[in-house]
Amino acid sequence: MGKSLLNWLLGIDRGEIAEGSGVRLKFANPWPTWVILVFAVAAVALVFALYKREKGTATRRRKLALATVRCLVVALVVLVLFKPILAVDKSELKQAYVVVLLDDSASMGVTDRYVDPEVQRGLAQVAGLAGGETTELSREQSVQLNERTRAELVNRALANPDIHLLSRLEDRCKLLVVTFADEVRGVEPGAWRPERPGHVPRLVKPSGDRTRITKALRHYADNLRGHRIAAMVVVSDGQTEEADPGEQASQLGILHGQPFPVFTVGVGAAESKDIKIVNILAPEAAKKDDRVTLNVVIASRGYEGGEQVGLKLFRDGQLMHTEPVSLRGDAKPQKVPLPYRPESTGTFRFRASIPARPEELSSENNAAEHTLTVKESKAKVLFVSGQPSYFYRFLKNALLVDQSIQLSCILQSADPDFHQEGNVRITHYPSTRSELFEYDVVVFSDVDPGSFTPEQLAALEAFVRQFGGGFILVAGPFYPVAVWSGTPIEELLPVRLGRMATPGDPLASQTLTEEFRPRLSLQGRNHGIAQLARTVEESQEVWERFPGCYWYQPVAGPTPDAIVLAEHPYDQGQQGPAPLIALGPHKGEGRTLFCALDGTWRWRFGVGDVYFNRFWVQAILYVGTERILGGSRRVRVDIDKRPYALGERVHVRALCFDEAFQASQADALEARVEMQGGASRTVGLKPSGEMDGVFEGSFEATQPGRGTVVVSAGAEQAAADFEVRLLETEFEDPTMDAASLREVAEATRGDFFRLHEIGELNDRVEAASQRITSEVQDEVFDAPLVVALFLGAICTEWWFRKRGMLA
Amino acid sequence: MRRGVYALAGLLALPAALAAGTAAPLARQELTDEVRQCVRRGLEYLASTQNRDGSWSSSGGMSRNVGISALACMAFMANGSQPGRGPFGENVDRGLNFVLDHVGRDGYIAAGSNSRMYEHGFATLFLAQAYGMTPRRDIAEKLRMATALIIRSQKRVDGGWRYDPSQVGASDISVTVCQVLALRAARNCGIKVPAEECVNRAIDYVKRSCLPDGSFCYMLRHRSRGSYALLSAGLSSLYGAGEYDCPELKRALRRFKEETPRNIARRGRISHYYFYAHYYASQAAYHAGGAYWDIYYPAISKELVENQNAGTGSWQSNFGDAYATAMACLVLQLPYQYLPIFQRLGADEVTAKGAEDAAP
């Protein structure tokens, strides 16, 4: 009662005062001490001086009393100006939240092979498969343990009456139990309680197709803002697709407004034996009778290295080949090349698999598939040269007899009535889009830019950008490439034009006697165009044996997205070694290549056509890939990725042109989606707005399997294959990812436990849930007591003055 | 518009050329260091004896001869030098100047009174090899003029060529081969060579020169058995004219196979037309490929290396050392594969269809 009255007088309401804590008077706006002293002395002196001079009937003693009261009033006013505050420690016992997040992704359905006897015993005990006193598991107990999925072990551990993890957490905290994979799902309150002794509630039911730990943590950190979180507990195998989970976890405190620890419990075997076929690296399309290499990438771990397995290659379900493979065992990828020469056209499904071994953690990742479309078409090449250079003469002859190429030549310097050469002879450079778009690749070798109309150059740009055509520009001394500056060709090149050498410049007119040998860049060494022998190493040796060149066309440098295949051994451009052969990324739809050398024909030395032809045919086929292997030339359809997970949206993008090869102005297009063995449906595509002729739309992948999206425009149609897979990523690497879980815990000052150590969590989470003491501050300048004192002092002085007959 | 990651990105592994590349490189093993040094010394001899005007002084009345300048410059170019490029680039430039300076208003390339259509043919061939490899613009015009002269000089009576640039009189196979190869080279540069009126008549003349035993007669009116030089000239004419699969070629190749061994192993007995003969014999063997080349080249290179003047690096002949040295260097450098006129166009097909059939 006494405390309440005092609180009322002071105008404060601080609830429960912490035991043993004292009330402290503070000032929000205190004056410096010397100011207070000066003011006090001055005020007292002034008050007393005034009262001393006061005339009236008051006695000296009464004047002294009045002066004292006036000083008190002044002191009270000064005190109020100081903004007095009463500070007191306040204690609250708020129940903090504990969120237990249980991973129910598909990988929790994996059964592990536990090797460490101590881990085995611990797991068997927390899962209730062995008593607490067990020192060594029986064979039966080991088998039982190894047959339990991760989810079953978690469910059993949570229901273990010897641990009582959840019930003990609930005693101290507000307990939230949720499951998560890609999204979080709450568990009904109390659903985790066993209904009877021995009952194990199935809290974790493996089903989710991916695990996103920090996404789930962020969800609750955000939703529980304003509430204290004592801890979050994540029970998972750590198989997350998220990048840098530790870094993301370190932001949880900021998101929530207060830091909190995350305790992670790792489920599953951290070290195990596994053979995984990562993927099959191979072209998606090839020509009949070409040599195709299916590179099967294998990663194996837990093996000593050298173990022999049989890699089986199936085509459309039929075993084609079994390749003996010696495993590396160190988890690093190893590439197994399997050559294949398609003898017929069509679409073939290849499957590479290694039979699962008994000791393997997972057999789900022992196979990979690849689809190869085989076509029977030649690359249609238009080869334009300004002069009959050796490059033109040798390459023209090489391409004329190459079975994969159909050639048409234009030699600009030729006589007007000269019969231009080629498998298909033409009389002039294409003057219309329709004529130009008959080709797959256009090669310019030191051509005269003045011989082209702006419309022809614009058509060439469209040929590359919109219709996937390949374009190669080979420099020469007659027409420096800088003459292309400001033309559409400049934008297509993978180099920035700059410094130019005209025929009158020293570079072009002096006798050049110094040889230089183009040096392959790191990218060039591994790029298919530059592969001139069976292996990268042999190819490198070939390049190093080439005779040098004497001339090259300097340019400012490669564009940022260019791939420089070969560079000058010592001449520098503006951004490093001068580029000699540069490959552009897709310029729109097509690909481009720039060669600063006019002397690649010198690679014929002693070997003739072998390497010179091989390089240029490879380059031509590479830049022309889109059109050589593409379907319709007026309709293109692409999907944004493959494979898709079930439920994902498949985004379709179509490029459509009318019969004059102008961008389609249609209001909408329709795409037909056909699933193998399933019904087809129609998806509407709308103009993207990005550029004319581009249409976009999407649909949900509702059925696992392979499908095709077909877009039609008039008589032409184009198709793109896609595949919908179920839960693939969850089994790519089923080993428990202790590192990610440890990162999350350490980033939040929590801790990492293995499932067999889950009992230790009881003590750790308890320590995080405590009574909270905080300082509460109350301003008292307007408290009733202060007002009463002020009024009391004023009234007392007034009364005394009246009694003393003072003015 | 960017096509995206799902574009057809993996064509790298499949070029047909790689499959074709299983064939072994042709002649790397033939280019021994000894041969290369021998060639180098021969070219250095030519470079050191070239006159400032681009010509060569030579014995046998062949001084300041456009034909020798053309052959010597082609020897430099067969080594990889070009006008203005390479260790002999300046020599080629000077030789080119000399030849271009001697292109007459009628297109006839001649210097002095000794020049005949041989020299014109070699000079035209040289201009065709230099065309497109130097920014100078006068080559095209003068090459066209020289080519036109050859076309104009084709004999009305038989379709071949003879010493003089006129249509009157009869032809011989020896001059004709020079003109056929010059026309072939000019045509490869984009210069119009009438097929019906010129090429077909020339082919007809060469075929008619082929005797039943596979040899070639010197002139049609003297259908006597020809020499190894004429046999080689006839074969080169057929290859130069693109006749890779005719009966005459097969006959001639059979004859060539018989004649070659005894025409190489003549150490110390260099004939009057030795270098001329092997200039064309080497081309015939090279185009025929296979066993023809495998037998011919090691033998001729061995012989030429042995016959090279150890002191000067030159070879000798009645037409002067520059002529012999240029011819020898051209023969030895065929496997370098740097001159377009020597490119084995369709050589694999030739080997398969023609030469193997002709082989006994």
In this predicted model, what pLDDT tens digit does every residue of B228-255 receive, in sequence order?
999 999 999 999 998 988 999 999 999 9
Q: What is the pLDDT of residue A100?
A: 93
Q: Do A638 and B6 touch (CB under 8 A)?
A: yes
Q: What is the pLDDT of residue A770?
A: 55
In this predicted model, what pLDDT tens digit does every residue of B79-92 receive, in sequence order?
999 999 999 999 99
**A-B contacts at Cβ under 8 angstroms:** 217
In this predicted model, what pLDDT tens digit does every residue of A458-514 receive, in sequence order?
999 999 988 889 999 999 989 988 889 889 999 899 999 875 544 444 445 577 888
Residue A583: Cβ within 10 Å count: 25
CA B322: distance to chain centroid? 17
Q: What is the pLDDT of residue B345?
A: 61
CA-to-CA distance for B18 and A536, rounded, in angstroms?
13
Q: What is the pLDDT of residue B16?
A: 29
B344–chain A Cβ distance below 8 A for any pair? yes
In the stretch 444-483 of chain A, residues with CB closer than 8 A to chain B read 465-466, 468, 477-478
Determine which helix (DSSP H) or strand (DSSP E) holds B332, and give its type and residue range.
helix B321-332
The tokens of A386 are what?
Answer: 């300004």
- Show Cβ contacts of residue A435 under 8 Å, excluding neighbours closer than 6 positions: none
Higher pLDDT, A781 or A666: A666
- Region of residue B273 (phi > 0: left; psi between -120 and 50: alpha; otherwise: beta): alpha
Residue A487: name the closest of A523, A456, A521 by CA: A456
Residue A802: Cβ within 10 Å count: 9
Three-point CA angle A749, A754, A759, nearest 5°? 85
Which segment, A209-218, A372-381, A579-588, A676-685, is predicted with the most confidence on average? A209-218
CA-to-CA distance for A47 and A575, rounded, in angstroms?
85
Taking contacts as CB-CB distances below 8 angstroms, the residues of chain A near B9 are 283-284, 625
pTM of the predicted structure, to 2 decimals: 0.62
Q: Which residue has the tokens 């009261």?
A: A69
Specify the pairing of strand A592-595 against strand A24-27.
Answer: unpaired
A290–chain B Cβ distance below 8 A for any pair? yes
**SS3 state at A121:** helix
Distance from CA of B270 to the nearest CA of A (A): 28
Residue A373 clears pLDDT 60, i.e. is over it: yes
Q: Do B132 and A625 touch (CB under 8 A)?
A: no
Q: Do B84 and A621 touch (CB under 8 A)?
A: no
A196–chain B Cβ distance below 8 A for any pair? no
For residues A583 and A494, the answer to whether their CB atoms sit within 8 Å is yes
In this predicted model, what pLDDT tens digit does every residue of A216-260 receive, in sequence order?
999 999 988 878 888 999 999 887 777 788 888 998 988 888 899
The tokens of A114 are what?
Answer: 């536990």
Provide the terminal-to-terminal Cα distance of chain B, rounded to the nearest Å.
Answer: 62
Q: What is the pLDDT of residue A789?
A: 84
Beta bridge partners of A779: A85
CA B110: distance to chain centroid? 19
Q: Do A618 and B18 touch (CB under 8 A)?
A: yes
Taking contacts as CB-CB distances below 8 angstroms, the residues of chain B near A720 are 6
Specify the pairing of strand A694-700 against strand A680-687.
Answer: antiparallel
For residues A472 and A592, the answer to whether their CB atoms sit within 8 Å is yes
Smallest CA–CA distance from A515 into chain B, residue = B86
Residue B33 clears pLDDT 50, i.e. is over it: yes
Determine which helix (DSSP H) or strand (DSSP E) holds B306, and give its type and residue range.
helix B290-307
Q: What is the mean pLDDT of residues A84-91?
A: 74
**What is the pLDDT confidence band of residue B70, given thresholds at 50, 70 and 90?**
very high
For A344-358, A714-728, B124-138, B200-214, which range has the lowest pLDDT when averaged over its residues?
A714-728
Write the CA distances from A462 to A454, A631, B111, B228, integer angstroms: 12, 18, 54, 59
Q: Which residue has the tokens 């503070």?
A: A26
Taking contacts as CB-CB distances below 8 angstroms, the residues of chain B near A589 are 1, 3
Q: Do B2 and A404 touch (CB under 8 A)?
A: no
Q: Mean pLDDT for chain A?
A: 84
Specify the pairing of strand A576-583 against strand A592-595.
Answer: antiparallel
Residue B71's φ and ψ, nearest 5 degrees, are -65, -40
Smallest CA–CA distance from B12 into chain A, residue = A528
B21–chain A Cβ distance below 8 A for any pair? yes
Write the CA distances from B250 to A580, B245, B256, B357, integer angstroms: 45, 7, 10, 7
Q: What is the mean pLDDT of residues B219-233?
A: 86
**SS3 state at A764:** helix
Write the CA distances from A136 to A116, A141, A758, integer angstroms: 12, 10, 20
Residue A210: name the closest of A178, A185, A240, A179 by CA: A240
CA-to-CA distance for B12 and B82, rounded, in angstroms?
34
For residues B328 and B275, the answer to whether their CB atoms sit within 8 Å is yes
CA B56: distance to chain centroid? 20
Q: What is the pLDDT of residue B53?
A: 95
Q: What is the largest CA-CA distance in chain B?
A: 73
For residues B275 and B324, the answer to whether their CB atoms sit within 8 Å is yes
B310–chain A Cβ distance below 8 A for any pair? no
For residues A468 and A626, the answer to whether their CB atoms sit within 8 Å is yes
DSSP result, A549-597: BS-B---SEE-TT-EEEEEEEEEEETTEEEEEEEE---BTTB-EEEE-B
B197–chain A Cβ distance below 8 A for any pair? no
**What is the pLDDT confidence band of residue B351, given thresholds at 50, 70 and 90?**
very low
A251–chain B Cβ distance below 8 A for any pair? no
Smallest CA–CA distance from B339 into chain A, residue = A390
Nearest to A397 among B13, B335, B345 (CB): B345
Q: What is the pLDDT of residue A88?
A: 72
CA-to-CA distance for B62 and B112, rounded, in angstroms?
9
The tokens of B232 are what?
Answer: 């080689």
Beta bridge partners of A263: A233
Q: What is the largest CA-CA distance in chain A?
A: 140
Amino acid letter, residue A345: T
Write the CA distances from B260 to A584, B249, B282, integer angstroms: 53, 16, 10
Residue A733 clears pLDDT 50, i.e. is over it: yes
CA A609: distance to chain centroid? 45
How many CA atoms lie less than 13 Å away from A82 in the CB half-sphere?
Answer: 19
B26–chain A Cβ distance below 8 A for any pair? yes
Which of A410, A461, A483, A511 is the mutation pick for testing B, counting most B CBs within 10 A?
A511
Q: What is the pLDDT of residue B17?
A: 29
Residue B13 clears pLDDT 50, i.e. is over it: no
Which of A387, A500, A509 is the mutation pick for testing B, counting most B CBs within 10 A?
A387
CA-to-CA distance for A72 and A572, rounded, in angstroms?
88
CA-to-CA distance for A650 and B38, rounded, in angstroms?
69
In the stretch 37-96 of chain B, residues with CB closer than 8 A to chain A read 80, 82, 84-87, 89-90, 93
DSSP result, A224-236: TTTS-EEEEEEEE
Determine which helix (DSSP H) or strand (DSSP E) holds A718, and give its type and residue range.
strand A716-725
Nearest to B11 among A415, A478, A622 (CB): A622
Taking contacts as CB-CB distances below 8 angstroms, the residues of chain A near B93 are 511
Q: Do B89 and A417 touch (CB under 8 A)?
A: no
CA-to-CA distance for B215 and B232, rounded, in angstroms?
9
A411–chain B Cβ distance below 8 A for any pair? yes
A393–chain B Cβ distance below 8 A for any pair? yes
**What is the pLDDT confidence band of residue A414, given thresholds at 50, 70 and 90?**
very high
Q: What is the mean pLDDT of residues A442-465?
A: 94
Residue A317: name the closest of A274, A350, A345 by CA: A350
**What is the pLDDT confidence band of residue B38, given thresholds at 50, 70 and 90?**
very high
